[in-house]
Amino acid sequence: MSVRVSTLDSGLRIVTDTLDTVESVSVGAWVDAGTRHEPAEINGISHMLEHMAFKGTKRRTAFDIAVEIENVGGHVNAYTSRENTAYFAKMLKEDLPLAVDIIADILQHSVMDHEELERERAVILQEILQAHDTPDDIVFDYFQRTAFPNQPAGRPILGTSDLVKSFGRKTLFDYMHKNYSPSSIIVAGAGNLDHDRFVELIQAAFCELPSRHPRNTEPALYHGGDFREARDLEQVHLLMGLEGVAYTDPDFYAASIYSTLLGGGMSSRLFQEVREKRGLVYSIYSFSSSLADSGVFGVYAGTGAREVEDVIPVVCDELLKSTHSVSEEELGRARAQLKAGILMVLESTSSRCEQAARQLLVYGRPLPTDEIVSNIDAVTKEDVVALARRLTASNLTIAAVGPVDHLEDYDAIAKRLN
């Protein structure tokens, strides 16, 4: 196995996935802090911090960071999720020390310059407005808030305009100091690198992280409910969801297979029945989204104001059919799709880097590919049917944006799943 893990005395964990047939390396720091770890009054701070990290350190200006990376043909990026924040770079193998140095620098020596903060605040406010103006994007925020009301798991990753306007340098530093400790960070590397040498580089570079502060994470408690926003649009953007599974749930792999066969591709039940046979939608798909302690299973459809009347009964029928039977053919096809996706990402150092880090965060260890494939192969038709019954027994979540006048009321839709 090419994956190795080391833990420094500070608690910082390091994972590498060596692939000596490539010329590149991907390096990143995955921080165990995201939207669900934010108090309500600073919702969106993780995302703003992700933006500000590249805006200058004690040794580098924002321009210096960009120039140093692009001088060697590399690139950097970052993202914020509900449970973690990631900062990563990809460069040629000989530039590994530079990649490590830049990631370490932005996480330990960011200055949060006032002028840069005001500029980036304006950028994030535009990002929030853009999300609001994109109905097939904002409907997912409404869905999450409805599924997990009045709790961190339901709050938007971007925060709100009013909150973003209120964040100052001290708020950013305080949040970073509390959450960016060695035991909360995993540094991952993938590609043409040596594990022991990588550990030496990390140990030398990551030596000024703050001590860990106690942190209570509020549990994610799925609730469900109904949200509709009437807009003058050509389509209704509809999400129907149910309580899903956590990453560590025994049904995790069954949920992945179920999502694939129900609405994961052109051969899936929903695509064939709703789009191909009836022409009711342009886009329809299902998804299984997990958290450490909960999750959601959902179906998205973009459809016309009148067509939505016909889409909902068909989607509900397909959900109910799957609680009775699943064919061996579609089970095999879903397995093949999942396994192909897992194996194909192994061709990318960036994907391997992220996979190793996320597995260490979620499971406390890297998962061998053979083990994942075995878990997929072990799922039976009976497992998928039982999972479908489990999902449809939970409370329904509805979120819709657009011309919603012809959308059935919540109770009527919920009754279709009984």
CA–CA gap between residue 160 and residue 220 (Å, rounded): 20
Three-state DSSP class for residue 92? strand
Nearest C-alpha neighbor of 281 from the set 265, 302, 295, 258: 302
How many C-beta neighbours within 10 Å does residue 4 have?
16
Checking DSSP bridges between strand 397-402 and strand 225-230, what pairing results, if any? parallel
Three-state DSSP class for residue 260? helix
User: Which amino acid belongs to residue 228?
Assistant: R
CA–CA gap between residue 417 and residue 394 (Å, rounded): 10
Residue-level length of the chain: 418
Active-site annotation holder among 23, 41, 50, 243? 50
Q: Is the dihedral of CA 303, 307, 312, 315 positive or negative?
A: negative
Q: Is 50 a catalytic residue?
A: yes
The answer to whether the CB of 46 falls within 8 A of the CB of 80 is: yes
Checking DSSP bridges between strand 13-18 and strand 185-191, what pairing results, if any? parallel
CA–CA gap between residue 82 and residue 37 (Å, rounded): 8
Active site residues: 50
